[in-house]
């Protein structure tokens, strides 16, 4: 809470310093007098409703900032005026009603026990608009127009898209803030006014493939499913009719600079200022895990839900493998990781913060963070109470005298063990040969005494024909009967298998789900250009409400760090987790593609030699041709003829 | 755009020479195009074909540097080299040794990638027959005032180019696609460049007007690679495109370099193969067609205070155009007269290998016989014959 108040007053600080320039000296004394009054009020108002309050002054402040751009270039004076806290203008909300936008940026850094570093960027743009009726919006400020148009044209209620390279190793790294499967994942809830959902979905994927430079146009009916329970809307609105939901994954999708560039362009500051300057593709893709996502959903502005707004969350998670054992010193810095340091926050952002997870390091015995910060924050994240050091980039003091922030972590010891993730999943293909096989899915419940139910979603392409009668679910050697099974069989070349199950996981156990399948033989043109590489089967999705050790925060409108506020929390005793298993790579029987040429060559030879000679025999007439005699013989014959002797 | 340049021509620039200004203004309208497009295709998959991706990206880099925006470039890459797991430096593609020039850049937009690069998609992009929901970035939205650059690279043979190691496009299909583009008024002038083995065979069958074609090698020749890099482990580029890139790096939006310079980009001593070009379908003199007519879309704008009568200049330019293009601007659409099979483009005679002169061989044989007789003498002759 202290952090928030500090950030709030920091905003006011800057305003103050800017306005100082405009107003005359004589007014200054009166202003500061006012400021003290507002400051006194501040603690009371800010404690409970900091979230709501922060919105309006932030907007007001930005407008002021834009208007007085000239003064921005003189931060020295701003520093000197720092002692005066705030201006009266900020306390008074804007009287002109206009759609309010808000932008926040955040970077969380968590040293992982494997020695890697996990960095998670979150950028949130809020756009206050009545999304149910307001389809005719033409004014965009912070919200990217390209996505706004997509939402209104295709009547999208919620859109979640992620591009991931690499696989998140839950057992080594713990739970990510936002899970995503390898490759591309897209799931969309349409509004109930959409009549032709499949047609809209197809068009939407095409448009998104253009926006993100990705091959999302490969999403068609053969890899799209309608999960019945696993993917509930994350925003407001109680939609239960899953005919408006579409879910698809492309496990083979490549993620590279061309996907990152359009993603960065959606940010209000682009990659010019703020945390986004760190997003350099040479560094981001030189990592063990890279995931970027866009989540659009409608959210409430306040706890009564009087005003609604679109929330655009852009997240980027990356795990750097900077620790090479045996190299002695273990050190990490912003510059080493991103080849950049930070010099400013995005001027459009109402909040811009860096969090460093220091939960495992309360006394500083494991590692040392420099520059040190007095700001600490606690947040409930994935059923755990974590402590973070906070760096507020909207405050000039964060950057120090060198005007650049280069965070440095220096390890002293590498001991310590990780809290084992309570839920995690694995998957593999068993069997031999190219005819049949068996998919094994393992779900681990590491909770010592609580059992909890999980939803397992499996979407298998049609060319693996599941034998659903061989489906077995077993935990601790005993049969574990799922309480709910939703199975949709596949149709060849039309739709995939969809298998959803609700399974109760006993405490401290492994639950194994197996199902046998047969590999189909594809048509010649259905093979990919490199069929010997194999065919991918998307990750299974395990979604669950995992019992929490600490009480979770259920007040979703309270101001909290972005990374802990994505999945809405309904009860205090549990938290929502989604786990993705590995995608499968399955070999299908692959024909010898040069065979047609061989066949053609052989056939042509047979036709030419066999049929050709027979045809010749039947159609040609044969005559004995007398060879014409040589010149000497001919002369001799003429002489013999003259002599009356028979010719030679 | 045009109005803007009119204004700029009318407005102030004191030191301009009036004759020079009129000449320049006349040149401004002589090329006859108003927009530029580029279709850049790499058709090869797999890591060992790194050089083909680098080829395409280096052309991409050049056209982008010379002013064609990403929205006017359709870039097709059949495989992902930049983020390939074998790439020691991810998110980069280098065209020069020692990681000197990164042609991938930080804001590349790949429109078709991976399995999307197929013959069907390529022909659909050219002819504009795409599904209605295709996004604009994946379309070639050119018109009859567009100059289009088409660059292809990959593995090919006599009369075909392989796509992704699984299908191929033939030179007849390509020629027909260009004819369809011409009939649909999708281009003003088209520059076709291909860097593949036996590349000249790909433009032999062209029969549509306003086409200029360049290839890296003649029929019967291989195009060769250049610059093996030990760190990356593969060849970085093909020879022809390497020298093309070297040439294009020196071009700037106001360059006066013309197509004739482009023909001399890679002499046989450097390319090993013989680059070919075909200009008989192109109606202008290649010497008057600037490189930037195809590789860039930024027009040189100078401000002048002189009053220029533009109508004369435009008429002049138009008349010049009509004179040169009257016969072929809108050709009669009798298919029979355009059937490529009836009038194939005369192939260059195949180059013979070097042969020693006859006298030399005669002398050699005489020498052998002399030595023979010297050693064995005439009396042993009967044993031999």
Find the radius of gyration of the CA atoms of chain A.
35
**Per-residue b or e along A476-491, where b marks 16 or more CB atoms closer than 10 Å to that residue's CB:** eeeebebeeebebebe
pLDDT tens, residue by residue, A219-238: 999 999 999 988 988 888 76
Q: Judge whether B115 is closer than 8 Å to chain A, CB to CB.
A: yes
Per the model's pLDDT, the better-predicted residue between A593 and B92 turns out to be B92
Task: List A454's β-bridge partners, or say none.
Answer: A503, A544
* Cβ <8 Å between B136 and A285: no
Contact criterion met (CB below 8 Å) for A538 and A251: yes
Closest CA to B112 of B86, B140, B92, B84: B140
CA distance B39 to chain A (A): 16
Residue A190, classified by CB atoms within 10 Å of its CB into exposed (0-12), middle (13-18) or buried (19+), is: buried
Inter-residue contact B204 to B197 (CB < 8 Å): no
Contacts of A529 in chain B (CB under 8 A): 45, 115, 164-166
Distance in angstroms (rounded) separating the CA atoms of residues A54 and A558: 11
Q: What is the mean pLDDT of residues A154-170?
A: 92
pLDDT digit string, tens, across residues A279-314: 988 888 988 999 999 999 988 877 777 778 889 999
pLDDT tens digit string along A314-356? 999 999 886 655 555 677 888 888 888 888 888 899 999 999 8
d(CA A450, CA A346): 45
Residues of B in contact with A217 (CB under 8 A): 116, 134
- Chain A residue nearest residue B104, CA to CA: A257
Are the C-beta atoms of B54 and B94 separated by less than 8 Å?
A: yes
When CB atoms are compared, the residue of B92, B109, B166 closest to A261 is B109
The neighbour count for residue A646, using CB atoms within 10 Å, is: 7
Quote the percentage of chain A above a pLDDT of 90: 33
**A285/B115 CB distance under 8 A:** no
Cβ pair A257:B135 closer than 8 A: no
- Residue B109 and residue A262: Cβ atoms within 8 Å? yes
Tokens standing for residue A234: 């994350």
Question: How confident is the model at residue A581, as a pLDDT?
Answer: 93
* H/E segment holding residue A242: none
pLDDT at A89: 37
At A309 the pLDDT is: 85
Q: Is B100 exposed, middle or buried (0-12, 13-18, 19+ CB in 10 A)?
A: exposed
Minimum Cα–Cα distance from A212: chain B residue:
B109
Chain segment A437-452, per-residue pLDDT in tens: 999 999 999 888 889 9
Contact between chains at B115 and A528 (C-beta distance less than 8 A):
yes
Residues of B annotated as catalytic (active site), given as ranges: 155, 197
The pLDDT assigned to B284 comes to 85
Average pLDDT, chain A: 79
For residue A300, give every residue at least 6 positions away whose Cβ sits within 8 Å of its Cβ, in sequence order, or none: A236, A307, A308, A556, A557
Q: Which of A153-157, A414-418, A634-638 has the lowest mean pLDDT?
A: A414-418
Q: Distance (Å, rounded) from C-alpha A404 to C-alpha A205?
A: 41
Q: What is the mean pLDDT of residues A370-397?
A: 82
Return the percent helix, strand and coil in chain A, to nearest 5.
30, 30, 40
A111: nearest Cα among A393, A418, A384, A565? A418
Would you state the structure tokens that stand for residue A528, as one six-digit string? 């990919």
**A419 or B124, higher pLDDT:** B124
- The DSSP symbol for B70 reads G
Contact at 8 Å (CB) between A533 and A90? no
* Contact call for residues A503 and A512 (beta carbons, < 8 A): no
Interface ipTM:
0.75
**B116 in A contact zone (CB under 8 Å):** yes
A520 and A492 in contact (C-beta within 8 Å)? yes
Pick from B123, B138, B131: nearest CA to B177: B123
Beta bridge partners of residue A436, listed in sequence order: A518
Instruction: For chain B, 385 residues long, give each residue's pLDDT as a single digit of tens.
Output: 444 444 444 443 333 455 566 666 666 666 678 889 999 999 999 999 999 999 999 999 999 999 899 999 999 999 989 988 888 888 889 988 877 788 888 888 999 998 999 999 999 999 999 998 899 999 999 998 899 999 999 999 999 999 988 889 999 999 999 999 999 999 999 999 999 999 999 999 999 999 999 999 999 888 888 888 888 889 999 999 999 999 998 888 888 888 888 998 888 888 888 999 999 998 888 888 888 889 888 776 777 777 777 766 666 655 655 554 444 444 444 444 444 443 444 444 455 567 778 888 889 998 988 887 777 776 666 665 5
Q: Quick one: pLDDT at residue B302?
A: 73
Q: How far apart (Å, rounded) are the C-alpha atoms in residues A462 and B251?
A: 53
Q: Are A501 and A487 in contact (CB under 8 A)?
A: no
Interface test with B, best of A254, A276, A277 (most B CBs within 10 A): A254
Which residues in A have their CB inside 8 Å of a CB on B? 165, 202-203, 206-207, 209-211, 213, 215, 217-218, 252, 254-258, 261-262, 280-282, 284-286, 527-530, 593
Give residue A554's pLDDT band: very low, low, confident or very high (50, 70, 90).
low
pLDDT tens digit sequence for A39-97: 333 433 333 333 343 334 333 333 333 333 333 333 343 333 333 333 333 333 444 44
Q: List, in sequence order, every residue forming a beta bridge with A464; answer none if it has no partner.
A: A519
């Amino acid at each position: 809470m202290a952090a928030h108040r500090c950030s709030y007053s920091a905003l006011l600080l800057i305003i103050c310093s800017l306005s100082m320039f405009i107003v005359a000296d004589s007014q200054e004394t009166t202003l500061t007098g006012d400021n003290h009054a507002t400051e006194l009020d501040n603690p009371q108002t800010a404690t409970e409703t900091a979230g709501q309050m922060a919105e309006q002054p932030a907007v007001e402040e930005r407008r002021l900032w834009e208007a007085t751009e000239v003064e921005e270039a003189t931060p020295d004076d701003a520093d000197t005026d720092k002692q005066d806290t705030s201006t009266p203008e900020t306390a008074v909300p804007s009287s002109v009603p206009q759609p309010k936008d808000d932008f926040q940026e955040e970077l969380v850094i968590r040293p992982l026990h494997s020695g890697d570093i996990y960095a998670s960027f979150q950028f949130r743009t809020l756009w206050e608009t009545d999304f149910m009726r307001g389809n005719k919006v033409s004014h965009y400020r912070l919200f990217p127009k390209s996505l706004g148009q997509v939402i209104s044209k295709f009547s999208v209620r919620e859109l979640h898209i992620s591009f991931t390279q690499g696989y998140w190793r839950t057992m080594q790294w713990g739970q990510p803030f936002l899970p995503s499967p390898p490759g591309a994942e897209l799931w969309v809830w349409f509004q109930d006014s959409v009549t032709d959902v499949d047609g809209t979905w197809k068009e939407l994927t095409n448009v998104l493939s253009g926006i993100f430079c990705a091959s999302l146009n490969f999403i068609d009916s053969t890899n799209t499913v309608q999960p019945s329970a696993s993917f509930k809307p994350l925003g407001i609105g109680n939609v239960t009719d899953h005919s408006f939901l579409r879910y698809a994954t492309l496990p083979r999708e490549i993620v590279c600079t061309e996907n990152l560039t359009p993603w960065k362009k959606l940010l209000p500051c682009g990659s010019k200022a703020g945390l986004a300057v760190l997003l350099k593709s040479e560094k981001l893709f030189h990592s063990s895990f890279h995931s970027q996502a866009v989540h659009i959903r409608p959210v409430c502005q306040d706890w009564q839900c009087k005003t609604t707004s679109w929330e655009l969350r852009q997240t980027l998670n990356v795990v750097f493998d900077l620790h090479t054992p045996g190299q002695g010193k273990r050190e990490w810095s912003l510059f080493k990781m991103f080849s950049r340091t930070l010099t400013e926050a995005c001027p459009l952002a109402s909040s811009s913060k860096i969090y460093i997870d220091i939960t495992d390091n309360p006394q500083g015995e494991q590692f040392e963070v420099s520059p040190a910060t007095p700001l600490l924050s606690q947040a409930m994240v994935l059923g755990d109470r974590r402590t973070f050091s906070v760096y507020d980039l909207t405050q000039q003091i964060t950057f120090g005298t060198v005007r650049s922030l280069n965070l440095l972590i220096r390890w002293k010891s590498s001991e310590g063990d990780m809290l084992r993730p309570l839920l995690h999943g694995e998957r593999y293909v068993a069997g031999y040969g190219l005819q049949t096989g068996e998919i094994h899915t393992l779900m681990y419940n590491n909770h010592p005494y609580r059992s909890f139910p999980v939803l397992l979603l499996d979407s298998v392409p049609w060319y693996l024909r599941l034998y659903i009668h061989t489906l077995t679910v077993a935990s601790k050697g005993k049969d574990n009967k799922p309480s709910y099974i939703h199975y949709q069989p596949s149709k060849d070349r039309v739709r995939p298998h969809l298998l959803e199950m609700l399974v109760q996981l006993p405490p401290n156990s492994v639950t194994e789900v197996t199902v046998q399948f047969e590999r189909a033989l594809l048509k010649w043109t259905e093979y990919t250009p490199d069929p010997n590489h194999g065919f991918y089967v998307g990750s299974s999705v395990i979604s669950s409400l995992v019992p929490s050790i600490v009480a979770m925060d259920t007040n979703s409108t309270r101001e909290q760090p972005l990374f802990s506020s994505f999945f809405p929390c309904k009860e205090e005793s549990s938290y929502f987790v989604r786990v993705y298993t590995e995608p499968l790579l399955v070999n299908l029987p692959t024909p010898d593609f040069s065979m047609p040429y061989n066949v053609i060559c052989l056939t042509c030879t047979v036709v030419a030699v066999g049929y050709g000679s027979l045809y010749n025999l039947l159609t040609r007439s044969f005559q004995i041709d007398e060879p014409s005699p040589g010149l000497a013989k001919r002369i001799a014959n003429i002489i013999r003829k003259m002599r009356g002797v028979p010719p030679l | 755009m045009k109005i803007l340049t009119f204004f700029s021509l009318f407005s102030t620039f004191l030191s301009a020479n009036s004759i020079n200004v009129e000449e320049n203004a006349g040149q401004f309208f002589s090329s006859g195009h108003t927009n530029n497009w580029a279709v850049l295709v790499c058709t090869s998959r797999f890591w060992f074909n790194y050089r083909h991706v680098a080829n395409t990206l280096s052309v991409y880099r050049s056209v982008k540097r010379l002013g064609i925006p990403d929205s006017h470039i359709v870039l097709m890459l059949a495989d992902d080299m930049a983020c390939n797991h074998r790439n020691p430096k991810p998110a980069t593609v280098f065209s020069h040794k020692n990681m000197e020039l990164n042609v991938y850049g930080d804001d590349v937009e790949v429109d078709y990638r991976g399995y999307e690069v197929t013959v069907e998609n390529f022909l659909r992009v050219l002819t504009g027959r795409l599904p209605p929901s295709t996004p604009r970035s994946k379309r070639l939205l050119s018109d009859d005032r567009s100059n289009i650059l088409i660059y292809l690279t990959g593995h090919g043979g006599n009369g075909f180019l392989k796509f992704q190691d699984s299908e191929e496009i033939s030179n007849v299909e390509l020629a027909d696609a260009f004819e369809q583009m011409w009939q649909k008024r999708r281009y003003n002038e088209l520059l076709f460049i291909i860097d593949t083995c036996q590349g000249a065979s790909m433009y032999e069958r062209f029969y549509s007007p306003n086409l200029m074609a360049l290839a890296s090698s003649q029929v019967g020749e291989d195009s060769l690679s250049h610059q093996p890099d030990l760190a990356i482990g593969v060849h970085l580029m093909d020879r022809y495109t390497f020298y093309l890139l070297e040439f294009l790096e020196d071009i700037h939006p106001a360059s006066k370099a013309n197509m004739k310079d482009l023909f001399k980009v890679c002499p046989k001593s450097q390319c090993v193969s013989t680059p070919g070009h075909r200009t008989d379908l192109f109606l202008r003199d290649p010497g008057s067609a600037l490189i930037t007519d195809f590789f860039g879309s930024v027009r040189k704008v100078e401000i002048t205070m002189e009053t220029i009568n533009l109508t004369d200049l435009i008429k002049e330019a138009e008349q010049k155009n009509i004179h040169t293009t009257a016969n072929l601007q809108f050709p009669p659409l009798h298919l029979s007269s355009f059937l490529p099979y009836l009038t194939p483009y005369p192939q260059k005679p195949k180059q013979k290998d070097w042969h020693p002169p006859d006298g030399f061989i005669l002398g050699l044989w005489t020498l052998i016989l002399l030595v023979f007789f010297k050693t064995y003498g005439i009396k042993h002759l009967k044993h031999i014959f």
